[in-house]
Amino acid sequence: MTEREALDLDAADPLPTRRAEFCVPGESAYLAGNSLGLQPKAVRERVGAELDDWARLGVEGHTRACRPWLPYHELLREPAAALVGARPAEVVVMNSLTVNLHLMMVSFYRPTPERHAILIEDSAFPSDSYAVRSQAAFHGYDPDEAVVRLAPADVLGYLRARGDHVALVLLGAVNYLTGELLDMDAITAAGRAAGAIVGWDLAHAAGNVPLGLHETGADWAAWCSYKYLNAGPGSLAGVFVHERHLADRSLPKFAGWWSTDPRTRFEMAPTVTQVDTADSWQVSNPPILAMAPVLVSLEMFGQTGMEALRAKSIRLTGYLESLLDSVCAGRPACVITPRDPARRGAQLSVRVSDRDVGPVSRRLREEFGVCTDTRRPDVIRLAPAPMYNTFHDCWRAATALAAVLDDGGAR
Ligand SMILES: Cc1ncc(COP(=O)(O)O)c(C=O)c1O
């Protein structure tokens, strides 16, 4: 594994990196895009444009800004739909991820005494676990009984055997800890065949792997946009509701003035006029300053295209995997992410068995300029994001990890 090889791979790759379009802290090898993606340089100017319009126009900006604010979220609809493989009416960008999980469960978790289980993965992200437990409790069920936590490998069998008591399946399409990409088609089909609602948390999947939500037949999905989508810390999230639910007036929803038909919104009627799109799950008027970076992000993904990004991602992650295998050989570390590229996205997780990973990650950053992240006690996550990472970044990360692992315990 030589630096020259990595540089040659970068020079020869059919999809050139867009690294120069991002702010890269300290020119690091930034492999933490699965946690917080880098800032596209275009964001500053785009947010500045909205600030300028606000300064120049005040309230008039709602209709007279360069990109008028009242219908601003419409600009995000088509690119967001393309990103997740949905029809435009099925998606809306709003709120943050866990808030959207709750709004979706208001409509799609309708427990009965016979059918009230919520199936999640045993390594679900804590926010999802807290959210489903609180929903079960809200409906008067004991979360310890209602929430079923399963290893991903056991989900299909469980749905076949015990699916008749499952009200909701809610899984992370790409697991935050292991990087495993689940078989969304098979699980969605099995969940629906069992009579359950199937929702997906796409936090680690959106912008990472190609998605075909509409075709998959999932009932709903939600995702954040601060990871692979690079829209900034705490940036706005997205929601997908399958077309077959869009005109269902029987679904309970929490409403606000952004739930109502925009054509009559300013008639200030006391009741909502429903629309037959995912917009009907909106509650508040959207934060334009937060939407501007999402628009930049979606434009960048539209320009490069998920298929090309995925192809590059498979090349980059495969290369990093081969380097990490050499690093791990003879050292107390191993890659725990599935080996089949079809069963993972960009992230590789390394379990280090002889020490706390916190200091390892800190030394990687401080001594080698390699930015990774950790999940204590023993997992380091490295995600070469195909939009801006290079083969050289992968090489830097692997050689640095070898040096830190050889250099004893915590400092
Ligand atoms: C899988 C998953 N679900 C939920 C969340 C929580 O997201 P938020 O804080 O934006 O609600 C995260 C955050 O990283 C996540 O990775």
Decide: 121 in ligand 1 pocket, CB within 6 A: no
Reported in sequence order, the residue ranges of 98-224 that DSSP labels E, i.e. its strands, are 117-121, 147-150, 166-172, 197-201, 220-223
201 is catalytic: yes
Tens of pLDDT along 279-333? Answer: 999 999 999 999 999 999 999 999 999 999 999 999 999 999 999 999 999 899 9
Rounded to the nearest angstrom, the distance between the alpha carbon of 403 and the centre of ligand 1 is 32
Say how far apart CA 383 and CA 312 lie, in whole Å. 13
Q: How large is the average pLDDT for residues 254-259?
A: 97
The two structure tokens encoding residue 40: 């596209």
Rounded to the nearest angstrom, the distance between the alpha carbon of 270 and the centre of ligand 1 is 34
Catalytic residue selected from 22, 109, 125, 240: 125
Rounded to the nearest angstrom, the distance between the alpha carbon of 56 and the centre of ligand 1 is 36
Ligand 1 pocket mutation pick from 97, 120, 132, 381 by most atoms within 8 angstroms of CB? 97
Tell me the DSSP string of 371-396.
E-EEETTTEEEEB--TTT--HHHHHH
Q: Which amino acid is at 22?
A: F
Q: How large is the average pLDDT for residues 175-203?
A: 98
Q: How large is the average pLDDT for residues 180-208?
A: 98
Say how far apart CA 152 and CA 148 lie, in whole Å. 12
Whether residue 158 contacts residue 209, with contact meaning beta carbons closer than 8 Å, is answered with: no
Tens of pLDDT along 48-71? Answer: 999 999 999 999 999 999 999 999
> Against a cut of 0.95, is the pTM above it?
yes
228 is catalytic: no
226 is catalytic: yes
Nearest CA to ligand 1 atom 8: 97
Whether residue 192 contacts residue 64, with contact meaning beta carbons closer than 8 Å, is answered with: no
Tell me the DSSP string of 54-88.
HHHHGGGHHHHSSS-STTTTHHHHHHHHHHHT--G
Q: Kindly give the number of the ligand 1 atom that is closest to the alpha carbon of 224.
A: 10
- What's the count of helices (H) and strands (E) in the chain, helices before strands? 15, 15
Q: How large is the average pLDDT for residues 105-122?
A: 98
Tens of pLDDT along 355-376? Answer: 889 999 999 999 999 999 999 8
Smallest CA-to-CA distance from 387 within 206, 125, 184, 236 is with 206
253 is catalytic: no
First to last CA, the chain: 27
Q: What is the pLDDT of residue 408?
A: 64
User: Is residue 27 scored above 60 in pLDDT?
Assistant: yes
Decide: 127 in ligand 1 pocket, CB within 6 A: yes
Rounded to the nearest angstrom, the distance between the alpha carbon of 203 and the centre of ligand 1 is 6
Q: Kindly give the number of the ligand 1 atom that is closest to the alpha carbon of 172.
A: 1
Nearest CA to ligand 1 atom 4: 127
Whether residue 95 contacts residue 89, with contact meaning beta carbons closer than 8 Å, is answered with: no
Say how far apart CA 259 and CA 243 lie, in whole Å. 17
Ligand 1 pocket mutation pick from 94, 123, 223, 224 by most atoms within 8 angstroms of CB? 224
Whether residue 177 contacts residue 379, with contact meaning beta carbons closer than 8 Å, is answered with: yes
